[in-house]
Amino acid sequence: MATLAQAAMNPPGEGAVPDALFRACFVLCGINAGYFAVAYFLGFWIYDLNGRLEPTDFVNVWAAGRLALDGHPALAYDWDIQRQVEVAVLGQDFSGNFAWHYPPPFLFVATFLAQFPYPMAFLGWMAISLVPYLAVMRAVVGRSFGLMLAVALPMLFVNMMVGQNGFLTAALIGGTLYLLPTRPVLAGVCLGLLSYKPQYGLLFPIVLIAAGHWRVFISAGVTAVLLAFASWLAFGTESWQAFFHWLPLSSQAFLTEGRAAWWKLQSLLAQVRYLGGSDQLAWAFQWVLTASVATVLALMWRSRVPYTMKAAALAAGTLLSTPYLYMYDMMVLAIPIAFLVRIGLKSGFRAYELPALGSAMALILTFIFAGIPVGLGATLIVAGLILRRAGPWWRREPLPSTAMVPSSSITG
């Protein structure tokens, strides 16, 4: 069966998917499927063993949407009121907070989902957001194997377990990068929609300005402004005031006090705090890393490096540059992996690349089973592979053309 499936994923005239890569993805797909079955029957997914709804991240989306539908969108940002709604819908109390701290435009998604019963909204959100993620992965890899790769990555399990928005974030970043060379306006729309998670847009303006992609830059800005204006019309000035009022309090709670536990965050800042470093030391390391990544990307995007390498580097850089990064956000790592796989299928994988990607996925699995903050290590492995592929640029040697071009084929 695996042989027939692999044959169907290898278009005539193109490099075959290596057996090791195909079999690893096949096994990981099975593991992901098994996770959900086990989690459901053991009471860890959607419902607990007592038949009550399991407290998890998605409840903050549904509760915020419920408050907005009831005519009180600004109250979604109030931790105490939001928590009362969450307890009511779950039918049980829980420790901690599932706080709502997204910009008001994301209330459009929340209000839509809150119109349905909680379990239906949970599953519906996962199904709806999965579709663009799969489409982008298929497009970036350039063949149907991209679908298997998308489903095989272990970050998928984490995102679906808690009902988060990792699929949407990965789809918007991947869509931006895939469309940028051929459909700059649409690429800008994707980037503008990403404004619901502004921490992932920090590097894009720097790169777009450095490379002179002004149509993308303008399109993204217009989209973000129109989205903000629409949310102001729908949810009022109070929602934006509440967002800006509670934003520093959320930052203080999660990035300074570590209320959500440092092992849950996968950034360099959290790694330093997890290992016992001070708040000042952690921020110093994080800002040095962010500045370094921004500098490298600006230089890379002005260079002769092939576009696929630039896109992969920017996707990986978005993860390294933000201090606020949970494992479900690591879905974004699927995008640079997809670009690397595309290049490998076109020009051949180097001997160390597949073992290195396997090591990165093993680190993600380690997080799932042991709760150790190893996401940074996985991101650094992928970033290292990208920089190694760009080695000829560092040595100022001629590079083979692997730029993204119009049509269904994207070279190397």
Contact 232, 240 (CB under 8 A): yes
Give which of 340, 364, 360, 361 is closest to 350, Cα–Cα: 340
Residue 156 has pLDDT above 50, yes or no: yes
Give the pLDDT of residue 259.
85
Residue 355 has pLDDT above 60, yes or no: yes
At 395, the amino acid letter reads: R
Contact 69, 111 (CB under 8 A): yes
pLDDT > 90 in the chain, percent: 78
pLDDT digits (tens, 9 = 90+) for 169-205: 999 999 999 999 999 999 999 999 999 999 998 899 9
Give the pLDDT of residue 309.
95
β-strand partners of 45: 47
Number of CB atoms found within 10 A of residue 56's CB: 18
Q: How confident is the model at residue 400 (pLDDT cuts 50, 70, 90)?
A: very low
pLDDT digits (tens, 9 = 90+) for 111-130: 999 999 999 999 999 999 99
Give the pLDDT of residue 14.
59
Contact 210, 296 (CB under 8 A): no
Give the pLDDT of residue 5.
54
Give the pLDDT of residue 16.
87
Give which of 21, 6, 12 is closest to 343, Cα–Cα: 21
pLDDT > 70 in the chain, percent: 92
Mean pLDDT for the stretch of residues 362-373 = 90
Give the pLDDT of residue 39.
84
Distance, in Å, from the CA atom of 296 to the CA atom of 386, rounded to the nearest integer, reads 12
Distance, in Å, from the CA atom of 272 to the CA atom of 330, rounded to the nearest integer, reads 19
Give the pLDDT of residue 396.
57
Contact 219, 188 (CB under 8 A): yes
* Range from 136-145, 350-359, 403-412 carrying the lowest mean pLDDT: 403-412
Dig out the tokens for 84 from the structure: 């009362």
Give the pLDDT of residue 21.
95
Give the pLDDT of residue 50.
86
Give the pLDDT of residue 405.
45
Residue 407 has pLDDT above 60, yes or no: no
Q: How confident is the model at residue 165 (pLDDT cuts 50, 70, 90)?
A: very high
At residue 401, φ and ψ (nearest 5 deg) are -75, 120
Mean pLDDT for the stretch of residues 271-286 = 96
Q: List the alpha helices (DSSP H) in 50-91.
A: 58-69, 79-90
Contact 131, 175 (CB under 8 A): no
pLDDT digits (tens, 9 = 90+) for 17-43: 999 999 999 999 998 888 888 888 888
Q: How confident is the model at residue 359 (pLDDT cuts 50, 70, 90)?
A: very high
The domains of the chain are located at 2-41+122-394
Number of CB atoms found within 10 A of residue 42's CB: 10
Residue 270 has pLDDT above 50, yes or no: yes
Give the pLDDT of residue 369.
84
Residue 238 has pLDDT above 60, yes or no: yes
Written as one string, the DSSP assignment of 81-131 is HHHHHHHHHHTS--SS-----S-GGGHHHHHHHTTS-HHHHHHHHHHHHHH
Q: How confident is the model at residue 10 (pLDDT cuts 50, 70, 90)?
A: low
Give the pLDDT of residue 306.
92
- Average pLDDT for the chain: 91
